[in-house]
Amino acid sequence: MKRMRLGTSTLEVPAVAVGCMRIDALDKKEAERFVRTALDLEANFFDHADIYGHGACEEIFAEAIGMNADVREKIILQSKCGIRKGSFDFRKEHILGSVDGILKRLKTDYLDVLLLHRPDALVEPEQVAEAFDLLQGSGKVRHFGVSNQKPMQIQLLQKSLKQRLVANQLQLSITNATMISNGINVNLENASAVDRDGSVLDYCRLNDITVQPWSPFQYGFFEGTFLGSDRFPALNRCLEEIAESRGVSTTTIALAWILRHPAGMQPVTGTTKVGRLKDCCRATEVRLSHEEWYRIYLSAGNLLP
């Protein structure tokens, strides 16, 4: 497994993160096999959130991996907090309470990374700073980041923080590539030229914040995967042709498309299928050519000027 530096941190992490949002759909044996396979593939970075399964996913993961001190030192754990029913909440008390719950469910004393999960319109950066200082000072969290935030929101937080934000988890796939396409269609009047996120990709690159793409195979907002979908015939033909020429799966090529971008992104898988997880990890061994990358981009209906 290819490894990379996470933001400005000292963490050397796998180039592909294992998302655990759907692990609660597995029975005990299936969960154990899934986690064991990830470790065998050297994919030891596991992404969680307290909202996933309302905490059940973290509990199931801890049980499946057989969490103990020896196991803990061999893995990298990231979780997220801030989503509540009917609101988002970045208040100091909520962050601190959420982390205590996460640690209890994961059966660990610390998180390697904590992300704030989606922006809270009522955020008070000073409260976030106080929470982060307490969490870092107590050893409960070692590094911090955000999820689904645009540059000005990150800057607003960073102004009050002592810690550098090391990651920003954002939706990105071949079919949901607005943060790439708006940078290609500059100064045009088409829909692809609309900057919906404040040039967040360039901002993260300029500030050494690792972008973690979520739902790398989804189109829309959890509408389904584009792989094999009748809605994207040209894209699937393109992926199949390139996959056949490389001797890999279309899953591998679709993830290799994200990894080919020079931003050095760390995509987060969402699968619980062992075979697909293997295909995802294989993507770190495939480097698409310049021509292949643009061919895939265009086949999904993305525009060039």
Question: For residues 19 and 78, what is the distance between their CA atoms, to the nearest angstrom?
Answer: 10
Reduced to 3 states, what is the DSSP secondary structure of residue 165?
strand
The per-residue DSSP string of 260-277 comes to TSTT----EE----HHHH
- Do residues 145 and 137 lie in contact, with contact meaning Cβ atoms separated by under 8 Å? no
The per-residue DSSP string of 129-156 comes to HHHHHHHHHTTSEEEEEEES--HHHHHH
- Do residues 278 and 249 lie in contact, with contact meaning Cβ atoms separated by under 8 Å? no
Q: What share of the chain is helix, strand, coil (3-state, %, to 5)?
A: 45, 20, 40
Taking the CA atoms of 169, 68, 23 and 267 in sequence, report the sign of the dihedral they define: positive
Q: What are 50's two structure tokens? A: 């307290």
Catalytic annotation, residues: 52
Residue 230 burial class via C-beta count within 10 angstroms: exposed 0-12, middle 13-18, buried 19 and up: exposed
Q: Which residues contact 90 (CB under 8 A, 6 or more apart)?
A: 82, 116, 120, 122, 123, 124, 127, 128
Phi, psi (rounded to 5 degrees) for 302? -70, 150
